[in-house]
Chains A and B, each alone.
Chain A
Amino acid sequence: MSQIETLGILEEIQALVSDKLQVVSYKWLSRNFLVSSNVAKRLLAEFVEKHGSGLEVVYSLSGWLKNSPSNYHIQLVTGPKLSEAKQVYDGNCRVHVYSVQACIPKDLAALWNTEFIQAEELFKQPTSVDNCLRDNRFCGISNSFVKRNVDGTPAKVATAQPNSVGISGLSIHNSAQFSAPLPSQQNKVQQSSSKVAQKPPIVVKGIKSDSISGGVHDLATKPSADKEKNTSFPSNKKKGQNDKGSTGNGGSLANFWDRASAKPKTCSAPADNIDSIQNSNDAQISACEAVEHENSDIDAQEVNFGRASNSEGNRKRRVVLDLSDEDEYEDAVNLASPDPPKRKSFLGSIQNSKTSVPERPDVDKPDKDEVTVKEERTANREPNRSLGEETSLGSKSTNGKNSSSVKLESQLPETDLKKDKVTDASRNSPKRRKVLKTRIDDRGREVTEVVWEGEETEVKKVESDVPKKAGSGATNATTNTVANTNSRYAVGTTAPSNPGVKTGNKKAGNAKDPKQGNILSFFKKV
Chain B
Amino acid sequence: MEVDSQEQLQRKQSTYLSLDENFEIQKEVYRGQQYSQIYFARLHMMRTLLYSLVPNWKSHLPVCTVLELKEGKECIIFGTLYKHMKLKPCILDEYSKERSVAPLIKPHNFMHQDDYLVLEDESGRVKLGGTKLSTSVYVTGVVVALHGKETSAGAFFVEDVLEAGLPPQIKRPLKSREDKYVVFVSGLSIGRSSSNPLQFQLLVDHITGHLGDEEEQGLAAEIVHLVIVGNSVEISRGLLNGQNLASKDQSRLCEPFKELDILLTQIAASLPLDIMPGSSDPANFALPQQPLNRCLFPGSTTYNTFRSCTNPHCFELDSIRFLGTSGQNIDDLTKYSEAKDKLDFLERTLRWRHLAPTAPNTLGCYPFTDRDPFLIDSCPDVYFVGNQEKYETCLLKGLEGQLVRLICIPRFCETGVAVVLNMRNLECHALTFGTQISS
Give the interface of A toward B (CB within 8 A): 1, 5, 26-27, 30, 33-39, 58, 60, 62, 65, 68, 70-78, 81, 94, 96, 104, 108-109, 111-112, 115-116, 119-120, 123, 127, 133-136, 138-150, 152, 154-164, 316, 321-322, 324, 329, 331-336, 499
Contact = CB atoms under 8 A, between A and B. Distances in A.
Given A72-B420, A141-B217, A143-B270, 8 more contacts: A38-B217, A94-B216, A115-B201, A146-B269, A157-B304, A159-B15, A163-B20, A332-B30
Max chain A CB contacts within 10 Å: which of B15, B16, B202, B303?
B303
Interface residues of B, number: 82
A72 B437 contact: no
B8 A141 contact: yes
Contacts of B272: 158-159
A337 to B, nearest CB: 9
Contacts of A62: 206, 211-212, 216
16 contacts: A5-B1, A37-B209, A60-B202, A72-B420, A74-B434, A75-B435, A119-B266, A127-B299, A133-B265, A135-B269, A136-B270, A141-B9, A141-B208, A149-B303, A335-B25, A335-B30
Given A60-B211, A163-B18, A75 B217 contact: no
Interface in B411-435: 420, 427-435
Contact of B202 (A5, A76, A148, A160): A76
3 tightest CB-CB pairs across the interface, nearest first? A75-B434, A141-B209, A70-B429
B435 A76 contact: yes
Instruction: Please report whether the interface of chain B is mostly helix, strand, loop or mixed according to DSSP.
Output: mixed
B11 interface: yes
B214 A140 contact: yes
B304 A335 contact: no
Contact of A104 (B27, B206, B439): B439
A81 B437 CA distance: 9
Contacts of B9: 140-142
A455 B83 CA distance: 63
A27 B269 contact: no
B3 A36 contact: yes
Contact of A163 (B4, B21, B432): B21
Contacts of A109: 196-198
Given A70-B429, A163-B21, A148 B303 contact: yes
Interface string B359-391: 000000000000000000000000000000000
B262 interface: yes
B114 interface: no
B29 interface: yes
Interface of B: 1-4, 6, 8-11, 13, 15-18, 20-21, 24-32, 196-198, 201-202, 205-206, 208-217, 220-221, 258-259, 261-262, 265-266, 268-272, 291, 294-295, 298-299, 301-308, 420, 427-439
Contact of B4 (A39, A76, A316): A39
Nearest to B270: A136
B209 A140 contact: yes
Contacts of B25: 335
A140 B198 CA distance: 20
B225 to A, nearest CB: 11
Given A109-B197, A136-B208, A142 B435 contact: no
Nearest to B291: A164
A35 B29 CA distance: 54
Contact of A116 (B15, B31, B262): B262
Nearest to B15: A159
B215 A94 contact: yes
A34 B28 CA distance: 51
Contact of A331 (B6, B32, B307): B32
Given A140-B209, A141-B217, A155-B302, A333 B30 contact: yes
B18 A136 contact: no
Contacts of A39: 1, 3-4
B210 A164 contact: no
Contacts of B202: 60, 74, 76
Nearest to B20: A163
Nearest to A324: B29
A138 B210 contact: yes
Contacts of A38: 4, 6, 213-214, 217
B303 A140 contact: no
Given A68-B430, A112-B198, A123-B262, A75 B303 contact: no
Contact of B221 (A26, A96, A141): A141
A146 B305 contact: yes
Contacts of A70: 427-430
Nearest to A103: B439
Contacts of B198: 76, 108-109, 111-112
